[in-house]
Structure 1
C-alpha cells in the first residue's frame, strides 16, 4: 500500500526542499498572527469560550494540512461553520453535557466527511465550474473586505449578528465615531505591505506590518486612545475531551452534522480549487474530504469545535509565499507556542492592523485577469460568474453562492444541450466519401438535382433536445431518393431521441425513400436492434463506425449511389419499354 497517497505529509517530508522552509515559516507566522484573534472571534460566534477557537486552530490546522490534498488550505474555525454550530447547539445551552454534545457534533461532522472521501464522492465537486470558483473568489474578497471595514475604522458595531452589508451600513451610520488612531495603524500596515512588495516580493510585508504596529502600540501606549486589541489569550494546550456518544444525541444532531459536513466540504474544496487555479496544483477532492474528516474527528477528542477551510487564512498562506503543506502544520504549532509562552504579548496586536492585512489579502483574491477572461470569452460563464459573485456578497450564508452558481451552471447547460446539432453534407466524390460540410440553417432543405441527402447528427441526443431534433429533421426532409443519416461523435442517445429518428425513417420509407445509417457504434446498434429499427431498414443499410476517417460514411454513400443508379436504370428501362 502506498502510504504517501493516504498520508500526503510523508511524501512532503521525504521530498522537502530546504529552500522552501523560509517561505513556509514566514507564511506560517503571518497566518498565525491573523488566526489568533480570528479563531477566538469565531468561537464566540459559535457560542463558546474563545479558548475553544484556539484549540481548533491548533488541532484542525495541523491534521487538515497533514492529510489534505491542498498545499495552501488552512483548516480551522470559520464564520459560516460557527454560525451553523450556534444554531444547532442552541437547544443544549446551559445543559451539563453541552460541551460533550458539541464535541459529538465535531466527531460526527468528521466521520461523515471521512466516509465521503473513502467512498470517493469527491467527484461531486466537479460540478462546481471554473466560472463559479472565479466568481466565488471575487465575491469572497469583497465580503472579507466589507467585514473588516469596522475594524479598520475602529468603529464599534451594534450587538448581534450582522451581515457584511449590514456591517458596512452600520459603519457609514457611525462614521463620525471613527477612531483615527486605529485608521492610521490600519493604513500604516497596508502601506508597509505595499512598500515591501515594491522592494522585494519575498519580504514578509504583512508580518512586518503587524510587528511594527505592536511596537508602536507598546512604545506610545496607544491603547489609551481606545484601540481594540486582540485581547487576553488563554495560556493552555488543547485538553483531552470525550464526546457524548449516545444514540439519542447522535440522532438529534444527525441532520445538523450532515449540513455542517457538506457545507464544510464545499468550502474547503472550493477554496483549494480557487488557489490551485493559480498555483496549478492538482487537487484530489477525495483526499481533501479525508483530510477534513480526520481533522474534525481528531479534534473532537482535543476540545475542538467543527471547522473547515478558511478563505482568509488560506489566501494569506498563498499570498505570503507558503510553498508546502508544512505551512499549515507550522501554523498550528506556532499558535500552540504562543498559547504557552507568548500569550501576554499577543494581546497588543491591534485589530486595525489585522484588518489592514486582511484588506490587502481580500483585494488580491479578486483575480482580475481571470474575471476579464471569463466575461469576454463565454456568455453563459459570464452569467454564472456574476450570479455567483453577487450571491456571495448578498446572500446571508457563504455556501449559498456555491449552490446558486452550480444551479445556474446546470440550468444554462440544460438550456444549451436542448439544441440538437443537425447538419447537411454534400459529397465531393462518392468514391472516397469526402464531404463539404454545410451548416443546417433551420430552413427547409431542397434537394433539387441531388438524389442523396446526407444528414449528420452530432453530440448528445436525449429527451431534452428531442423537440429540436424533430423540428430539424422535419425541415431536412426533401425530395431526395436516399436519406443517409450519419452519426458523428454521438456519445449519448436515449430512447426519446431514437423515437424521433424512427419517426423520420418511417416517414421516408412510407414515401418510397431509402434510409441508410452510417457511423453506428456497437452500443447504438444494440439500441437500434431492441427498437426493431435494424429490422425495418435492413442490416445491409447500417454501416458500423470504423477507425478510418469517413470509412463508414464512404461505404454508406456508395450503397446510396448504387441504389440511385438502380432506380434511374429502372426508370429508363420502363421508359424504353413504353
Structure 2
C-alpha cells in the first residue's frame, strides 16, 4: 500500500467513484479543446514547431496529473515558461544539437523540481498567503481576458511578443478593423455557456459552444468572411528523444533550468492552492513538486518542452466540473486521439469561439466574495491583495506578482511583529493569586500596585521587537520596591531581547529593587543561566512555569508580597526605635 503514497493516480483509481467519470470526461473534453490551439501557440513562443507543444500537452499532462497533488491542476506549456525557454535557448539556435539541448533543459528543470520535492522543500510555498492567492487569481483572470480580446474581436496583431496591455491598446486602436463575424461567434459561444449554466450546471456549455461554432463555420463557410480557425493539426504521437547529457551543455543550461524550475513550481503550487481554496482539497506541495519534476523529466524523452501548471486550463477543469486527477490523464489521451482521428475536424475550431470560452473562465477566476472578505477584514491583507493583483496585470512577467505579494506580506508581518507585547498586571487581593490585566499607558501605578509592579511579557521577543521592548520597559519603570517579570506564551526569545531585559534588571537592582521572574520555561531558564542572569537575580527569585494556570505567578506574587511586608515591618521597627 506504500506505493499508493508515491503514485497518487493508483490511489485515485482504487477508490474511484464511477459517478465522477462523467464530470471528469466532460471537463477533459473541454480542456482538450482549449489545449489543442493553446499548446501549439505556446510552442511557437518557445521558438519551436507547434507539434512540440502538442507533445507536451499529452505527456506532461498525463504524468503531472498522475504524480501531482492537485485534482484540477492542468500541466503543460505555459506562456511564462515558454518565454523563458526561448530566452535560454537563443545560444543554441541554428546548431545541430538544438533539440537535444532543448530536451536536456526540460530534463534538468524536472530533475531540480523532483529533488526539491524529495528534500521536502514544499513548505517554502507556505509563504504565499491567502491574500496573495486571491489577488494573483483575480489579476490572472484579468490578463487572460485581456490576452484574448484580439481573438474575440477578430483583430490582427503585429508580429513579435506583446504584453496583454499592448494587445488591449492595439485592439482599441483597431476597432474600425474588427471582424464582426468573428465577434458574433465569440458572443454566441459566451451566450451558449451562460444559458447552459442557467439551465443546469451539469451541461457542458463550453464544449457545446465550441461544437456549435464549428458547425456554423463549416455550414456557412465563414472562413471566407475572415474568421480565423485553428488550422491543420499534425497527426503524430510524441516521438522518442534523447537529451544531450554532456557536461558542457549541463553547465550552459544550469542557470536557466534553475530559474524555470522555480518559477514553474511557484506557478503550479499557486494555481493548485487557488483552486483548492474553493474545492477544500488539501494540497501537498512536496508531492506537487515531485509530480512536476516527473512530468518534465519524463517528457524530455518524448520530445517535450518544459511546462508547468496552466491557469487557464486548470480553471477550465475546475469550472467544468473536473473532480479527480483522472481529468488530466483523460486530457492527454483525448489530445492524442484527436491527433489520430479528428484532426481534419478540429482544424475548423474558430479562434473567436475559444476566446469566448476563455473570457467566461477569466471572469469566473475573480472570486468576488473572497476579495470583499479580505478587503474588509484586514488592512495589511487588503494591501497585499491589491498590490499582487495590480502587479499581475502590469508586470512584464507573471511570476513577479507572486514575488511582490510574498515580499510585501513578509515586510508587513515584520513591521507588525516589531511591536513587543508588554502589559502590567494589577494584583487583586485574593487567596488564589488572580490578576486583572491593564495595558501600560504611561500612568502612574495605583495605590494597590505602588509596592509591587508586575510586568507581563507576551509572545515572541526577538531582535525586531527589541527597540519597542526597551521603550515599554522604560515606561514601566517606577518607584516600586519589587518588579515581578512574568513570561507568558514566549515561544521565541533571542539574545537581543534578553539583553534588553537584563539591562532593565540591572537598572532596577542597581536602585535597590528586587527582581522576581515567573513563568520561566526550562528552555528560557537555560538561556538565563548562560547569560548569568540567574546568578545575578538569585535562584530563589526564579519561579518555573507550572502546568496549573497562574500557579507560577501566584507563587511569585506571594513571595513579592511577603518581601514588601517584611520591608514595611522593618521600617516601622526603625520608626519605633527612633
How high is the TM-score relative to the length of structure 1? Answer: 0.99
Which residue pairs with 1:562 in the alignment? 562
- The aligned counterpart of 2:233 is 233
SS of corresponding position for 2:301: coil
Distance in 2 separating the partners of 1:402 and 1:53: 26
User: 2:210 is matched with which residue?
Assistant: 210
Q: Tell me, which stretches of 5 or more residues in structure 1 are unaligned?
A: none
8 A Cα contact 1:34 1:354, kept in partner? yes
State the Cα deviation string for residues 107-154 of structure 1 (Å, max 9, x = none). Answer: 000000000000000000001111000000000000000000000000
SS of residue matched to 2:428: strand
CA distance in 2, matches of 1:178, 1:409: 43
Alignment correspondent of 1:320: 320
Decide whether the 8 Å contact of 1:430 with 1:557 is kept in 2.
no
CA contact (8 A) 2:427 2:448 kept: no
**What runs of 5+ residues in structure 2 fail to find an aligned partner?**
none
Give distance in 1, aligned partners of 2:366 and 2:433. Answer: 52
**SS where residue 404 of structure 1 aligns?**
helix
Match of 1:522 in 2: 522
Q: Is residue 98 of structure 2 the alignment partner of residue 98 of structure 1?
A: yes
**Separation in structure 2 between the aligned mates of residue 99 and residue 209 of structure 1, nearest angstrom:** 38
| Kept in 2: contact 1:39–1:57 (CA 8 A) | yes
Matching residue of 1:118: 118
Shift of 1:333: 0.1
- Cα separation, 2, equivalents of 1:190 and 1:228: 18
Residue 57, structure 1, aligned to residue 47, structure 2: no
Partner residue in 2 for 1:187: 187
TM superposition shift of 1:446: 3.2
Contact 1:139 1:390 in 2 (8 A): yes
Aligned equivalents of 1:268 and 1:240: distance in 2?
Answer: 26
Alpha-carbon distance, 1:449 to partner: 4.8
1:281 alignment counterpart: 281
Q: Is the 8 A contact 2:238 2:302 kept in 1?
A: yes
- The structural deviation recorded for 1:429 is 3.2
For 1:279 and 1:559, the matched residues in 2 are separated by 56
SS for the counterpart of 1:543 is strand
Match of 2:445 in 1: 446
Q: What is the DSSP-based 3-state SS (H/G/I as helix, E as strand, rest coil) of the residue aligned with 2:89?
A: helix
Q: CA deviation at 1:158?
A: 1.1
Is 1:444–1:476's contact at 8 Å kept on the other side of the alignment? no
Confirm or deny: 8 A CA contact 2:238 2:303 kept in the other structure. yes
Q: 2: CA distance between counterparts of 1:231 and 1:565? A: 95
Structure 1 equivalent of residue 354 of structure 2:
354
In the alignment, the residues of structure 1 paired with residue 37 and residue 178 of structure 2 have an alpha-carbon distance, to the nearest angstrom, of 21
The question of whether the paired residues in 2 share the 8 Å contact of 1:447 and 1:480 is answered with no
Give the deviation of 1:2 after TM superposition.
1.0
Match of 1:373 in 2: 373
Contact 1:431 1:558 in 2 (8 A): no
Query: Aligned partners of 1:406, 1:530: CA distance in 2, in Å?
Result: 37
How many angstroms does 1:188 deviate by? 0.4
TM value normalised by structure 2: 0.99
Once the 2 structures are TM-superposed, how far is the Cα of residue 440 of structure 1 from its aligned partner? 2.2
DSSP 3-state at the match of 2:234: coil
User: Is the CA contact (8 Å cut-off) linking 1:447 and 1:453 kept in structure 2?
Assistant: no
Q: Distance in 2 between matches of 1:550 and 1:532?
A: 26
Counting only pairs closer than 5 Å after superposition, residues 165-564 of structure 1 correspond to structure 2 as: 165-441=165-441, 443=442, 445-446=444-445, 448-450=447-449, 451-564=451-564
Deviations 1:304-356 (A, max 9, x none): 00000000000000000000000000000000000011111101000000000
How far the C-alpha of 1:427 sits from its partner, in A, is 1.3
Deviations 1:23-78 (A, max 9, x none): 00000000000000000000000000000000000000000000000000000000
